[in-house]
Amino acid sequence: MIKTFKKIGIIFSIVAVIGGTLTFVMTWNNLGFGDGFLRAWLSSFALCVVCIAPIGGVIAMLINKILRTLLPTISTVQMNVIFGLCMAVIMESIMAVVTTMNINDFSDWRHFIYMWMASLLTALPIGIFFSIILSLVIKPKLEIFWAK
């Protein structure tokens, strides 16, 4: 039972650090550091955790299955890097939609799409950095921890 709480704590801390950082950057990109920044960031972070955390597990399983089918002969390291990059782009795209929807209205779709793209492109380098660290360092250690 204690091991289950540890696993939940580890997953939650990873989601909190990555989700918190990326929604922070996306909220800053949409609003800047003004009066409503903290409220907007916290609500975007909460929405992303509630929406993206459950979806992320399903997307991760699907990407893993697709990559194993398409690239059966590549090394584990290469698979982990490709998996991480795919996850970064997909999950950040979803996170950028949620954050942009939370902060902007829908009166002008062109403005909405511009803000979504700007949010995604601003946070993407950070997300790619996180994905490489997760893929090469954290994921292999987690797989050993899950196996115990």
Per-residue pLDDT of 25-54, as tens digits, reads 988 988 888 888 999 899 888 888 887 777
Q: What is the pTM of this model?
A: 0.80
Q: What is the pLDDT of residue 115?
A: 87
| 122: three-class secondary structure by DSSP | helix
Burial pattern 92-120, b for ≥16 Cβ within 10 A else e, equals: bbbbbbbbbebbbeeeeeeebeebbeebb
What span, in angstroms and rounded, lies between the C-alpha atoms of 128 and 83? 11
Q: What is the pLDDT of residue 1?
A: 64
What span, in angstroms and rounded, lies between the C-alpha atoms of 70 and 62? 12
Q: What is the pLDDT of residue 62?
A: 93
Residue 70, pLDDT above cutoff 90: yes
Better-scored residue on pLDDT, 53 or 68: 68
What's the mean pLDDT when you consider all of the chain?
Answer: 85
Q: What is the pLDDT of residue 9?
A: 83
